[in-house]
A and B are shown apart, each in its own frame.
Chain A
């Protein structure tokens, strides 16, 4: 079963590099790259550390289902308002 994540989206939004995130959660910067690309599934501990670093719930970052595209989310939010 594949595990989807939005680490790169959050990282781009906060303007931090792979190395900065890697140093913050205590892994190699390549590990962040493999995580973002879906080549590696993190341990629960690492997933929680990354979520804590971004200050969000772990479900916001990782999901068993594919994440909705950001454009769709924005459109839905706009229609709600």
Chain B
């Protein structure tokens, strides 16, 4: 059939393929566990960068408590949190650490342990250094309740994002591509 005279059904087929769902369903139905859990080297960087940016914005531009439309803030915030918290498990599940740990062999168990140790180590350092810094900053800059709440929320979001993404990122960069047999 000529490209110009394609039926509506074939165009609809193309639309479905364009969404990526057929490939995702094929990956879900495959028996090969390696295909389901591929290294994600770039995807986890976006939520981490986004959470860092949010924390920086909340630190740089304090929001005055007076005159704030709470309804206009809470709605988008809930939607944003829902989307963010939904994305973190998806990154973990589709990443190299996503399969059940009971199915790990010794190399995978070591990789999982190293990935979480790397993540928890960084979280410990960042929180250990960040908390006193934030305490000093809040006292020095005379933060109001609204800014304190904003910083606490975004800092918590950054912690959750790092916990969700950093192990996947570490494991993905430690898995080099193997040549085909």
Contacts and interface: CB of A to CB of B under 8 A. Distances in A.
Interface in A1-50: 17-18, 26-31, 33-35, 37, 39-40, 42-43, 45-46
A28 B108 contact: yes
A34 B179 CA distance: 10
Contacts of B108: 28, 31
Task: Classify chain A's interface size.
Answer: 10 to 19
A46 B181 CA distance: 21
B135 interface: no
A31 B110 CA distance: 11
Contact of B34 (A26, A30, A34): A30
Contact of B105 (A18, A27, A33, A39): A27
B106 interface: yes
A39 B176 contact: yes
A46 B179 CA distance: 22
Question: Taking chain A's interface residues, is the majority helix, strand, or loop, or is none over half, making it mixed?
Answer: helix
Contact of B107 (A17, A37, A40, A45): A40
A30 B179 CA distance: 10
Nearest to A26: B105
B6 to A, nearest CB: 41
B62 to A, nearest CB: 49
B178 interface: yes
Given A28-B34, A39-B176, A34 B181 contact: no
B178 A42 contact: no
B106 A30 contact: no
Given A28-B108, A31-B107, 9 more contacts: A29-B34, A30-B107, A31-B108, A33-B179, A34-B107, A39-B176, A40-B107, A42-B106, A45-B106
A-B CB proximity, top 7 nearest: A27-B105, A33-B178, A31-B107, A28-B105, A40-B107, A43-B106, A31-B105
21 contacts: A17-B181, A26-B105, A27-B105, A27-B106, A28-B33, A28-B34, A28-B107, A28-B108, A29-B34, A30-B34, A30-B107, A30-B178, A31-B106, A31-B107, A33-B178, A33-B179, A34-B107, A37-B178, A40-B107, A40-B110, A43-B106
